[in-house]
Amino acid sequence: MSVRGAKRPGTDSGWWARRLDLHTGRMRSDRKVLLLNADDFGIYPSANQAVINSIDHDLAASCSLMVPSPGAPEALRILADRSDIAFGIHLTLVADFPTQRWKPLTGGRSLLDSSGQLFTPHEKDGLLASARIEEVEAEFRAQIEVALEAGLSPTHLDWHCLADGGRGDVFDLTLALADEYGLAVRAWLEPAQRKIRARSLPVVDHGFLDSFSIELEDKALRYARLLRGLPRGLTEWAVHPAYEHALDSGSRIRRSDYDFLVSAEAREIIEEEEISVIGWSAMAQQWLGHHAN
């Protein structure tokens, strides 16, 4: 049996509704459901195949595309050829590698540091202090439009290195863009989750897991323990599968994610624990119903 069952979750609109309490926007507590998304698709070319392999192994169930980054053109071509892959826009305002910074799609000066380049993740406090919301909006729109102009249909919006956008007004802007474009939104922290629940839309029941927060030593063992102890309800993991890359100080973390996601052990645990692995297409169905109303 496939890890995700005979029918892929998200293709059956009743599948999600049967597991969602529509009054609270929370998952019903009778199932273990893991929303497993591969972030940073397109960060660099060698990461793209690792993300696709993770999805093809039935562990990662969707991904998030970084539009401004070096691997994005190839990632867009892959998505054009693989309509079965659910993906969102990984809204990107920082460039990860100090020696190779990509450019924003727009000319917003408040998004750039004193040298005229995008901030690095370590400098994100400076970005959040300087970023003007109208320039953030222009950049976010441009990133979404790249996917739409390529004929693709993203499912959701989330952010690269900025939990819930990093500021309340950025999160609110993203919600407004999601309404406009008919997309879902990831909510990581409690203030953002409260806003989503107030709209009777689904959010996670348990703590959001970013794979960069897990110690590298014995990481596969830690993942196995987390899966075996997964609580009932909806949990989301943001993983970052990739092959190692010379410029990426986090590439060992990414490679450890990839190795676990394609392992027989991960598949066995998910089947033994009767965990339903879903991607963002399942969440987006509920959001689309909300937009239609």
Over the stretch 219-233, which tens digit does the pLDDT of each residue have?
999 999 999 999 999
pTM, two decimals, is 0.89
Token pair for 245: 């890359």
- For 13-292, CATH gives 3.20.20.370
Radius of gyration of the chain (CA): 18
Query: What is residue 245's predicted lDDT score, i.e. its pLDDT?
Result: 84
**Start-to-end CA span in the chain (Å):** 37
Query: What is residue 18's predicted lDDT score, i.e. its pLDDT?
Result: 45
Burial status of residue 7 (CB atoms within 10 A of its CB: 0-12, 13-18, 19 or more):
exposed
Distance, CA of 190 to CA of 72 (rounded, Å): 31
Distance, CA of 255 to CA of 246 (rounded, Å): 12
Place of tokens 């995008």: 118
248 contacts: CB under 8 Å, gap ≥ 6: 43, 44, 96, 97, 242, 254
**What share of the chain has pLDDT > 90, as a percent?**
74
Distance, CA of 271 to CA of 48 (rounded, Å): 27
Contact between 102 and 111 (Cβ < 8 Å): no
Q: What is the dihedral of CA 242, 244, 246, 252, to 10 degrees?
A: 100
Domain boundaries, the chain: 13-292
Over the stretch 92-150, which tens digit does the pLDDT of each residue have?
999 998 888 899 999 899 999 998 999 999 999 999 999 999 999 999 999 999 999 99
CA angle (267, 269, 271) in 5-degree steps? 70
Over the stretch 188-246, which tens digit does the pLDDT of each residue have?
999 999 999 999 888 888 889 999 999 999 999 999 999 999 999 999 999 999 998 87
Q: What b/e sequence results for 171-183 when a residue is b if at least 16 CB atoms lie within 10 Å of its CB, and e otherwise?
A: bebbbebbeebeb
Tabulate helix, strand, coil % of the chain (nearest 5): 45, 15, 40
